[in-house]
Amino acid sequence: MPYTLPTLSRRQFLAATAAGAATLLTPHGRAEDRVCDPNRFALLSDTHIAADPNTVARGVNMRDDLQTVIREILAAQPAPAGAFISGDCVYLQGLSEDYRTLLESLQPLREGGVPVHLALGNHDHRERFREAFGEAVRKASLLEAKQVLIVPAPHANWFVLDSLEQTNKTPGKLDAEQLQWLGRALDEATDKPALVLVHHQPDNRPIVSGLVDTDPLFEVLTPRRHVKALFFGHTHVWAVTQRDGIHLVNLPPTAYVFAPSQPNGWVDARLAADGATLELRCLNPQHAQHGQRVELKWRT
């Protein structure tokens, strides 16, 4: 269930504070003072924010990791045009309190002029998410059962999908209605490359832990040549591969990893007319893959 947190002016930010909203203000410049690159995006996944900001899982304080990433994003010059979180925004059961802490944690990005585009994963909860974010999240949907989002940029359109099927159950599903919508939406936006972002990974194994409707998704994506890349999280792995010329970008977790050799952090994405440059930003700057760059060339 994608949803965008719009930016906040300093006046709006202070008004929210006066109304009792908790904040995590950081000492960065004002949003209006920052130069923005409209084709630069911060890509995050699996933030797993818990209600208690001191919660530690697998040796990691998830809130601390997110704060570190946010500071790096706000320090980037030129500034990104937006940030994406590709699901599993909160921890395990998607509790209402988790979403309140998430909102507080993301406040510096919004106050710094960086809108945040959210998708839900299998550790999110649809109704609690809606309750925490208010009526605007319901109105944001282009579908009744699943909420989808289109984010335009000069060099590409982002299509953010909803693969949440059941909270705290591993597999995900798009379903026929969402896939039909995606096909129509892609056909109405052929003027620019299309980049698709979802939580669950493509998965054709006998026991599926990713998208159970992987093949139907690629029946939509593959023949539409302006679809260039599919971004996803869920596996807590950083990897870039291809299928039918479509780049498959497995985003690293911002929170904990499952395998000690894997990095956690975020990806700095810069779009061009014919491709994109992805730079891995590891939370551990000593990690062997920190600063790794991957050049993506769009299929024709």
Output the 3-class SS for 38-73: EEEEEEECCCCECCCCCCEECCEEHHHHHHHHHHHH
Tell me what the mean pLDDT of segment 276-296 comes to: 98
pLDDT of res. 134 = 80
pLDDT of res. 8 = 65
pLDDT band at 34 (very low <50, low <70, confident <90, very high): confident
pLDDT in tens, 164-206: 999 999 999 999 999 999 999 999 999 999 999 999 999 999 9
pLDDT band at 141 (very low <50, low <70, confident <90, very high): low
- The CA angle 243-247-251, to the nearest 5 degrees, is 115
Give burial (CB, 10 Å; 0-12/13-18/19+) of 38.
Answer: middle
Examine the pLDDT at 21 and tell me if it is beyond 70.
no
* DSSP H helices in the chain: 10-18, 62-75, 96-111, 126-133, 135-139, 176-187, 214-221
pLDDT in tens, 228-239: 999 999 999 999
Give burial (CB, 10 Å; 0-12/13-18/19+) of 81.
Answer: buried
86 forms beta bridges with 119
Domain count, the chain: 1
C-alpha to C-alpha distance for 46 and 21, rounded to whole angstroms: 24
pLDDT of res. 11 = 52
Would the pTM of this model clear 0.85, i.e. be above it? yes
Q: Which two tokens stand for residue 274?
A: 């014919």
Which domain covers residue 159, as residue numbers? 3-297
pLDDT band at 138 (very low <50, low <70, confident <90, very high): low
Please report how the helices 62-75 and 96-111 are oriented relative to each other, as an axis angle in degrees rounded to 10: 20
Examine the pLDDT at 18 and tell me if it is beyond 60.
no
Examine the pLDDT at 296 and tell me if it is beyond 90.
yes
pLDDT of res. 30 = 55
pLDDT band at 148 (very low <50, low <70, confident <90, very high): confident
Examine the pLDDT at 10 and tell me if it is beyond 50.
no
CATH number at residue 60: 3.60.21.10
